[in-house]
Structure 1
Amino acid sequence: MAKQKTSFQGARYEQRAKRRKVNRILNTLIGFVFALILFFGWQLIFSNGNEREAANDSADVKKEETVEQEEIENKESVNVEFNDNAENGNKEEKEEVVEDENEEVTVIEGDPNSNIIQEIVNPSWQPIGTTQSEPHVTTFDKNSVDWKEMIDAISYATRLSPSEMIVWFIGNNGPNKAVATISTKDKKQHYKVYIEWVEQQGWKPTKVQQLRNRE
């Protein structure tokens, strides 16, 4: 009888041990599954958050690019309009100056028997400016500042650049006055240019004569 009781108790003990083992395994599996659920749930939430941030960042970048592009287009439009207005204004100013000059210019035809083809006087001529100080002393030295400024005044009156003319002569024509004889580089046109010194303002053309032959 004692042996049967001991055997029965041993069997119950084994069953309990098996149940505990099974429970441990189940609890472990449940914990593992729960951990997996938490892990993947967190990954899903975190991934959605990143996607939203990326989408928001992308939208912000597109907005900034759109605003910058609009600002650039507006600036270009303003610059084009400003340049067009400036060009139109410059054209109008140039046309007005030419018209004014043409209205004021006096052209006198020369005597057919003289060496003068025509004589031109333009009251709109202005002194060319100077770097020299007063009192001014006229100098006909080709290396002097005064000579260079006389050449500039002659160029201004004839509309020939210094490189387009041959200067044959520049000489005294009275107090603070000078006269020059020049030709175009091809020697087909000849001019006599009269200039005078304006105090603190430089040389000013007073008269241009177009000649038949060089004097």
Structure 2
Amino acid sequence: MPTSRVNKFEKRRKNTKLLSTLIVAGSILLVVLFGILIFGGDETDEADNEQGSPQEEETDSASEKQDASAENNTDPNGSTDETGSTEDSDTEEGNNQEADTEQVDPSDDNVIEAYTGDWQPVGTEQSEPHTINYDEGSQDRHEMRTAVASATGLDEDKFTMWWIERNGDQQVVNTVSDPDETEIYRVYNTWLANEGWQPTKVEQLKENDQKARFE
């Protein structure tokens, strides 16, 4: 009988120890599961956020490109398109030139067309009283070239001044042409005190009627 009681006690002690072990293992397992649920969810959210970042950056980059594109199409002066603005400006300038000129009767049969305009004096560095200096390289010759270019559109540095003819008090007629003599003009200039030479009339010529002077 004593031996049987001892066996029962040992068996009961082993069962109790096994149960305690199972309880501890279960507790650890629960802790691990909770940890996975808590920290695993945060990592998932963090991973989602990390995956979302490049998309947000890409969206921001696209927005910046659209803004830059719109900015490039805006001219500092308010035009919506740089190329269109230049063309519009040139067209308006041409229209203004046409509107500011008026056809008049030609002075002789060598004239293709004649017109007057409201061209402005070109300015001067000369003082009053003014006396015309016809010499090559003079300030008058230089300022006359500027006046001729403003009225005809010829390149001031390249056109040929063939002849300067007195046309009254402080008035001259300049016969000029482009280097190829495909454009030949008489330009009537008047001196305005302290303001310089002012073109008042232009005649486009069929032939250079002053060239014979140099042949």
Given the superposition, is the C-alpha separation of residues 63 and 142 from structure 1 closer, same or farther in structure 2, using an over 3 Å criterion?
Answer: same
* CA shift for structure 1 position 199: 3.1
Structure 1 residue 22, shift from structure 2 partner = 0.8
Q: Which has more radius of gyration? A: 1
CA distance in structure 2 between the aligned counterparts of 1:72 and 1:25, rounded to whole angstroms:
70
- 1:168-188 CA distances to partner (integer Å, 9 max, x unpaired)? 344766654444332332246
- The structural deviation recorded for 1:61 is 6.7
Identity across matched positions, percent: 21
Structure 1 counterpart of 2:188: 194
Matched, 1:98 2:98: yes
User: Which ranges of 4 or more aligned residues in structure 1 deviate by more than 6 Å?
Assistant: 54-79
Given that 1:109 and 1:118 are in contact with CA atoms closer than 8 Å, whether structure 2 keeps it comes out as no
Q: Which amino acid aligns with 1:108?
A: P
Say if 1:119 and 1:207, in contact at 8 Å, map to a contact too: no
Question: RMSD of the TM alignment (CA)?
Answer: 4.5
Indicate which of 151, 156, 166 corresponds to 2:160: 166
Shift of 1:59: 8.4
Distance 1:13 1:49, change over 3 A: same
1:125 is aligned to 2:119? yes
Match of 1:156? 150
Deviations 1:71-96 (A, max 9, x none): 778879998x9556996686467436
Q: Is residue 118–residue 200 contact of structure 2 (8 Å, CA) maintained in 1?
A: no
Could you tell me which residue of structure 1 aligns to residue 27 of structure 2? 31
TM-score, normalised by the number of residues in structure 1: 0.63
Q: Structure 1 residues 69, 37: closer, same or farther in 2, change over 3 A?
A: same
Deviation at 1:98, TM superposition (A): 1.4
Equivalent residues of 1:140, 1:171 under 8 A apart: no
TM value normalised by structure 2: 0.63
Higher helix share: 1
Query: Partner letter of residue 209 of structure 2?
Result: R
Provide the C-alpha distance between the structure 1 equivalents of 2:125 and 2:152, rounded to a whole number of angstroms.
23
Aligned mates of 1:183, 1:207 — CA distance in 2? 16
Q: For residue 105 of structure 2, give the secondary structure of its aligned residue in structure 1.
A: strand
SS of equivalent residue, structure 2 residue 191: strand
Where do residues 3-152 of structure 1 align in structure 2 (5 Å cutoff)?
Answer: 5=2, 7-8=3-4, 10-47=6-43, 49-50=45-46, 53=49, 82-83=80-81, 91=91, 94-95=94-95, 97-101=97-101, 104-110=102-108, 116-117=110-111, 120-128=114-122, 130=123, 132=125, 134-135=127-128, 137=130, 138-140=132-134, 143=137, 146-152=140-146
Deviations 1:175-205 (A, max 9, x none): 5444433233224664443312223433111
- Pair 151,186 (structure 1): closer, same or farther in 2 beyond 3 Å: same
In the alignment, structure 2 segments of 5+ residues that lack a partner are none
Aligned length: 204
Instruction: Give, in angstroms, the shift of residue 155 of structure 1.
Output: 1.9
